[in-house]
Amino acid sequence: MSGHLSGTAALWVLVLGSLLGLELIGKVPPTLHTPLMSGANAISGITLLAALALIGQAPTPGLKLIGAVALGFALFNVVGGFLVTDRMLAMFRRREAN
């Protein structure tokens, strides 16, 4: 066993992980979306590292492409999470007197 993930297996992991994420997020009430985003940022940070490792060690261009797609999804989630968290924290800042 070489320890490498085949292209088909990597694609299945990406597709099933994406569908599971959509299903789980769809079941969360809107009032919990912002706190959930903070936890998702931590998980997406791990996903970023895994995608970079896949891109760096992938034996085929197809696996590199799957890693790049996973990297894009994770980056989108991390940036969106930071924007949402910043917007939420802005609601609690004191307004400056002009």
Is residue 17 a part of any domain in this protein? no
Residue 37: the pLDDT is 67
- Taking 80 as the threshold, does the pLDDT of residue 21 lie above it? no
Lowest mean pLDDT among 32-36, 46-50, 75-79: 32-36
Segment 66-80 mean pLDDT: 87
How many alpha carbons lie under 13 Å from residue 51 in its C-beta half-sphere?
19
In a domain, 10, yes or no: no
Instruction: Print the domain residue range for 58.
Output: 28-97
Tally of structural domains, the chain? 1
**This prediction's pTM:** 0.59
Q: Which amino acid is at 81?
A: G
How far, rounded to the nearest angstrom, does the alpha carbon of residue 9 sit from its chain's CA centroid?
19
Amino acid at 15: V
Lowest mean pLDDT of 9-18, 39-48, 53-62, name the range. Answer: 39-48
Q: Give a yes or no: residue 16 inside a domain.
A: no
Dump pLDDT digits (tens) for 83-98. Answer: 877 887 788 877 766 5
* Cα separation, 65 vs 71, whole angstroms: 10
Is 42 a member of any domain?
A: yes
Mean pLDDT, residues 45-49: 83
**For residue 47, is it within any domain?**
yes
- Contacts of residue 38, Cβ cutoff 8 Å, sequence gap at least 6: 81, 85
